Amino acid sequence: MLEVQGINVSYGDSQVLRGVHLSIPAGKVVCLMGRNGVGKTTLMKTIIGLLAPKGGGITLAGEEITKAPPYLRARRGIGYVPQGREIIPSLTVEENLLIGLEASGGRTIPAEVFDLFPVLKTMLGRRGGDLSGGQQQQLAIGRALVSGPRLLLLDEPTEGIQPSIIKEIVAVIRRIKGEGKMAILLVEQYLSLVREIADSFYVMEKGAIAAEGPVEKLTDEVVRRHLTV
């Protein structure tokens, strides 16, 4: 579904990503890991088109999208849930979800979103800023899902979220994975969660891929070498 090949990204004179590569098959969950500041969010923003690479290429389902603007990537099937959620607090839950429909041109929120997150249906008229952190995260994921993406990017969706909501989010990821259609790239720090739901992993270090493989190869040695602070 997604192929990232040799991506280089810089902020001014500071190079942040160095020849990064990724492969994400349809129907699979791929986890991206690494210590703080190694370039994980930068890579996510590059995939969605918020940052322009200085080298390398990105393809979605075989289609070159390296130079495509963010709105075209969204229309072609990339859903993005940024770190920190970034819902619009002054808008209602319903209005936040309707914004997500801009990518597909739809007018009606799919019922499937409420099947995944029933709490959203009960709060359609509430402002996003009045929701708890966990509810805002569910809203952010729902907003990305309403357009029916082929690829879902989740940047640390469990960060700062209460355990009960984490379980619900994990259940949603499992359900999507079980349908076998959507690819998911998940930035996550909790090893137990990664080992529970991921098919494969990539570990970043100093802006490059330092380790990768099926999740069975995410050994304690890999963790000590690349993830332990």
The answer to whether 153 touches 2, Cβ cutoff 8 Å, is no
The pLDDT value recorded for residue 160 is 84
Average pLDDT of the chain to the nearest whole number = 92
Three-state DSSP at 37 gives coil
Alpha-helical runs (H) found in the chain:
40-48, 70-75, 93-100, 111-116, 118-122, 133-145, 163-179, 191-197, 220-226
Rounded distance between C-alpha atoms, residue 83 and residue 44, angstroms: 10
The pLDDT value recorded for residue 159 is 86
* pLDDT tens sequence across 26-44: 999 999 999 888 999 999 9
Identify the residue whose tokens are 């075209």.
72
User: To 10 degrees, what angle do helices 163-179 and 133-145 make?
Assistant: 20
* pLDDT tens sequence across 133-190: 899 999 999 999 999 999 999 999 988 888 888 899 999 999 999 998 899 999 988 8
What the block records as the tokens of 149 is 């993406």
Rounded distance between C-alpha atoms, residue 220 and residue 122, angstroms: 43
* pLDDT tens sequence across 189-227: 888 889 989 999 999 999 999 999 999 999 988 888 888
The pTM assigned to this predicted structure is: 0.91
Three-state DSSP at 7 gives strand
The pLDDT value recorded for residue 192 is 86
What the block records as the tokens of 107 is 């007018």
The pLDDT value recorded for residue 104 is 81
Kindly state the average pLDDT of the residues 109-125: 93
User: Which one is the CATH code of 2-226: 3.40.50.170, 3.40.190.80, 3.10.20.30, 3.40.50.300?
Assistant: 3.40.50.300
Three-state DSSP at 204 gives strand
Rounded distance between C-alpha atoms, residue 7 and residue 53, angstroms: 6
Nearest CA-CA partner of 114 in 136, 143, 137, 86: 143
CA angle 95, 163, 146 (to 5 degrees): 25
Nearest CA-CA partner of 172 in 144, 204, 206, 214: 144
* pLDDT tens sequence across 68-111: 999 999 999 999 999 888 899 999 999 999 999 988 888 889 99
CA angle 172, 145, 103 (to 5 degrees): 170
Does pLDDT of 229 surpass 90? no
